[in-house]
Each structure stands twice: as C-alpha cells, then as structure tokens.
C-alpha cells in the first residue's frame, strides 16, 4: 500500500513534466505568437519583433521552454505574457479559490441529487418511477450546460426583473452573498453531473443486487433496508467514488462555461483567455494545476477504495 502510494506520487511530477512539454509544443505550433495577441487589432501589427524581444519570444522554442521550466523548479511560475505582465502566481491565486468553491459545491449538490435518484431507481427498477427518474437524469445530460445557464440568466429577468448575477463578492468578504452567487453556476453544473452519478449508482447497485452475498444476506432474513444500505450501497460505492472523482475533471472544464456565463473570475476563464492569446506561462500553469488536482483526487479515490472494499489491496 505504502509503496503503491509512493510510486504514484513519484510518477506525478514526471507526468506533469511530459504534459507541460506537450502543451508548450501545442502552443508553439499555433500560427502567430503572444506578440500578436498583445497587439491585437490589425493596426497593431507593426514591428512585432520589438514586442517579441520584450516578451522573450524571439528565442528558440526550446530555450523558452527550458527557461520557463528552470524557473518553475525555483518556485517561480513566471509572468503572464499579456501586459501588464502580472506574475502568473498572482493571477492564479486571485482566481483559484472561486473555481475550487464552484467545484466542491457542484460535487456536493450532484451527490445530494444523484445518489438518492440512483438508489431509488435501482430499488424500483423497471417501474414507472425508475423510468421517470432515468428520463429526468438523461435529460439532464442531454441539454448542454451553457444553455441551462443561459435560461437561468434570461428568464428571471423577464419574469421578475431580477438577476441571479450580482457583483462578485468573495467568500471571505461575505460568505452568504458569495454563496448566493456561486449556487447558480454550481447547480447548473451539478444538474448535468448528477445525471451521471445517478446512472452509475443505479447500474452498479443493480450489479450488486444480483450477487451471491446479497442473496445470502437476504436469506439470513435481514430487512431489505439493511440489505440495500449496508450491503448493496456500500459495495456499489466504488464505481460511484470513481465517477465522482473523475467528474471533478469534467466539472473543472464545465467551470469555464459557468464562469463565463455568470461572470465569475475563476481559473476556467483565465485559461480560456490565455489559450486564445497564447499566453503560455499562464496556460501551462493552469492546466498543470488542474492536472495535479486531478491526479491527487484519483489517488485519494484509489486509497479510499481500500476502506470501502477491503478486498482491494495495492
């Protein structure tokens, strides 16, 4: 177990290294460079070499990459290429809390909605309530989240002249206002991901329902409720955990959409802007941070397996 975790931990930086290289190459092969983005607008495109020099883009790509990498090893994430060239660390620090908040809230809401739906759906499989719930969840997957978001923006205004978007307030300033802002994007992302959660809960519970030990448990005369909650649900938690863990990746992606519609300064928006302007120090940092979070979560999920299912050993 310990060796396994250590092995995984050692692999992480290596993977991040490869990822940074791949990303850098991708950004580098894009036609044009950040100098163009800096001077966006047709009238701006003179003497780009001056800007390239200022931004260090006149150096060969490998020099740029290893320069960046060297600084990262010294704890310096570099400066954004876009004027006013703020340090990447500052930009990230300013925004990461918002995205994490949305992510956690989304997972919470999604679990609160998705788990009961999945359980009910499994217990009452092939009944009307199962079909209804399954249909509702699949509809949740079928509507793109940018549209759910758009509807929430548009309709309250028409009906009540009220808008769910208020000037952004951080959690530390005013937790209640902050939650009242963040709850909408989180709910929208959760609607989609709850659907996945419910599906997986349903199908993994069904799988367990038919297993020998559940039959044994029933044969022992345990009450159905105990059978379902203790034996079936517990065992089926493994795939559920996996899905919730994996969804964090999807939710971080969905955060781009939610942040852009609800005007929340988060990492997703930062990434979107930086990709478009080829601001590679920012892109690399954001993607690698997301990837690191993702790796840590999957590791945590794997470790959790062992407590949920003692048969699993690493």
Residues in 84-123 at the binding interface with another protein, rule: CB under 8 A: 84, 91, 94-95
Site for another protein in 231-270 (CB under 8 A): 236, 238-239, 242, 249-250, 252-254, 256-257, 259-263, 265, 268-270
Q: Is 87 strand, coil or helix? A: strand
Q: How far apart are CA 301 and CA 246, in angstroms?
A: 9
Whose CA is closest to 263, among 156, 173, 182, 147?
182
Least Cα distance to 279 among 92, 73, 18, 13 occurs for 92
Length of the chain: 314
How far is Cα 270 from Cα 276, in angstroms, rounded to an integer?
Answer: 10
The interface region with another protein, picked from 64-72, 130-138, 178-186, 222-230 by CB under 8 A, is: 130-138
Which of 3, 31, 225, 307 forms a contact with another protein (CB under 8 A)? 31
Q: Which residue, 19 or 222, is less far from another protein as judged by CB?
A: 19
Instruction: Please give the size of the binding site for another protein, defined by CB under 8 A.
Output: 107
Check binding of 273 to another protein (CB under 8 A): yes
Cβ atoms of 113 and 187 within 8 Å: the answer is no
> Least distance in Å: CB of 223 to another protein?
21
CB 275 within 8 A of CB 283: yes
SS3 assignment, position 170 = coil
Q: Which of residues 139-168 bind another protein (CB under 8 A)?
A: 139, 141-147, 150, 153-154, 157-158, 161-163, 165-168
Residue numbers 61-80 binding another protein by CB under 8 A: none
Count of CB atoms situated within 10 Å of the CB of 160: 8
Is 43 a binding residue for another protein by CB under 8 A? The answer is yes
Tell me which residues in 197-226 interact with another protein (CB under 8 A). Answer: 199-200, 203-204, 206-207, 210-212
């Amino acid at each position: 177990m310990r060796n396994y975790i250590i092995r995984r931990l050692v692999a992480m930086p290596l993977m991040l290294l490869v990822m940074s290289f791949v990303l850098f190459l991708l950004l580098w092969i894009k036609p044009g460079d950040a100098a163009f983005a800096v001077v966006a607008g047709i009238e701006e495109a003179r003497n780009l070499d001056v800007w390239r020099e200022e931004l260090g883009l006149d150096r060969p790509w490998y020099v740029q990459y290893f320069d960046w990498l060297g600084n990262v090893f010294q704890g310096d994430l570099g400066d954004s290429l876009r004027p006013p060239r703020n340090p990447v660390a500052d930009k990230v620090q300013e925004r990461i809390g918002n995205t994490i908040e949305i992510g956690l809230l989304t997972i919470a809401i999604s679990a609160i909605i998705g788990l009961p739906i999945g359980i009910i759906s499994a217990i009452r499989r092939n009944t009307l309530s199962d079909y209804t719930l399954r249909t509702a969840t699949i509809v949740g997957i079928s509507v793109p989240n940018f549209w759910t978001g758009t509807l929430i923006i548009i309709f309250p205004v028409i009906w009540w002249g009220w808008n769910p978007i208020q000037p952004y307030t951080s959690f530390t300033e005013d937790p209640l206002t902050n939650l009242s802002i963040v709850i909408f994007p989180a709910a929208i992302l959760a609607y989609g991901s709850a659907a996945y959660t419910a599906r997986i809960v349903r199908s993994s519970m069904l799988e367990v329902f038919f297993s020998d030990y559940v039959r044994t448990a029933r044969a022992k005369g345990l009450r159905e409720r105990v059978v379902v909650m203790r034996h079936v649900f517990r065992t089926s938690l493994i795939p559920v955990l996996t899905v919730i863990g994996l969804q964090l990746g999807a939710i971080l992606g969905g955060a781009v959409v939610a942040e852009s519609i609800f005007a929340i300064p988060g990492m997703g928006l930062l990434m979107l802007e930086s990709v478009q302007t080829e601001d590679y120090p920012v892109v690399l940092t954001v993607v690698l941070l997301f990837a690191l979070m993702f790796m840590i979560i999957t590791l945590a999920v794997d470790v959790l397996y062992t407590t949920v299912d003692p048969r699993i050993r690493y």
